[in-house]
Amino acid sequence: MNAKKFSDAISELDTKYVDEALNYKKKLKKPLWVKGAIAACFCAVLLTGVFFWKQSNIVSVRESGGVIVTKDGVTIPNPDISLSSSNNTADMARFFIYQGRIYREYKRVYSDNIIGELLGTAKGSINEWTSEDGFVELAGSVSGDFYAVNGYDPSFMLCMKYDNGHILTFVCKNGITLKYGSELFEDRLHLSGNFVAVECESWESRFYSKGNIVSFSSNEMDIVNSLINEMNAAKFIPVNDIPLSEEEESIFDKKIYYIYFKMQNGMTIELGLVEGGYVFFEGIREICVQISQETFHSLISFLES
């Protein structure tokens, strides 16, 4: 044990234990050097115990692609948003600030059924020249009334309706910590028992707008239910932790399918299925879960048939 670790361990000891060790007395009289040796050994045992207790309880913390990983799960930190910097092009996406949370564009929806209570009006006062003091409550890169989304917690999802009838949904993903899939797919997205249809599409069809979309029939719901159950039970990892081959620069160099859950309220929950069995929610691309190879290959067999 080096001097620093010894000092750290000492600092963790309750002084009463040290005092008791140093003042420890036996009924039988022993030479002074024996008493000193006993006290020293007792202190050494305590210090060693403290040291190894500390070592075994150190929390592993690491960062991967902007995601913080600890024993409690994965956390997407609050972003340091500034549109005045040329290297923050990602922040040019539609967003607004409500109750200190940043809501970013998720997808368009064409059903008024999702629109809930009116919660406020975004000012749309932020552009690429806005200074930091302009990033205040209700500011954003979009303007307009925003509403709760029926069936979803406003701290997670909101929506806006435009004059052309389009409804744009926004997701708050920053500052949340997720460990198991159920904390997203059930607690926030409410997948189980709330979808009316499930469709799928290849990345090529989606990217080139080919519209080659197929639906799971009622006879194929066992595959879908296995997918949901395994997603719920799996632990989240950063998408950047998905292994890549030497030829691959990102997960989008792998084969990807998209699975669309059509919800009862008109929402569509979009999931990406990546080669290897990794699944991510399109609204939070930074993290994913991994399903079993058996379920993954069952899905692929269906999708490719």
Q: At residue 230, what are phi and psi to the nearest 5 degrees?
A: -75, -35
For residue 185, the surrounding DSSP H or E stretch is helix 182-185
pTM higher than 0.95, yes or no? Answer: no
pLDDT band at 39; cut points 50, 70, 90: low
What's the full length of the chain, in residues?
Answer: 305
Q: pLDDT over 90 for what percent of the chain?
A: 54
Q: 238 has which bridge partners?
A: 287
Determine the pLDDT at residue 40: 54
- The pLDDT, as a whole number, for residue 124 is 86
> Average pLDDT, stretch 283-296?
95
One-character DSSP codes across 154-172: TTTEEEEE-TTS-EEEEE-
- Looking at this protein, which amino acid is placed at residue 275? E
Structure tokens at 53: 């207790």
Closest C-alpha among 101, 223, 191, 207 to residue 154 = 101
Judge whether residue 147 has pLDDT over 70: yes
User: What's the rounded Cα separation, in Å, for the pair 53 and 140?
Assistant: 48
Q: Which of 247, 235, 303 is nearest to 274 (CA)?
A: 303
Per-residue pLDDT at 277: 96
Spatial separation of the C-alpha atoms in residues 153 and 114, rounded to whole Å: 12
Quick one: average pLDDT of 82-97? 59
Which one is predicted more confidently, 127 or 25?
Answer: 127
Instruction: Round the average pLDDT of the chain to a whole number and report it.
Output: 81
Please, which pLDDT band fits residue 81 given cuts at 50, 70 and 90? low
pLDDT at 51: 46
pLDDT of residue 303: 81
Q: Which CATH architecture has domain 78-171?
A: Beta Complex (2.170)
Q: φ, ψ for residue 110 (rounded to 5)? A: -120, 25
Domain ranges of the chain: 3-56, 78-171, 178-304
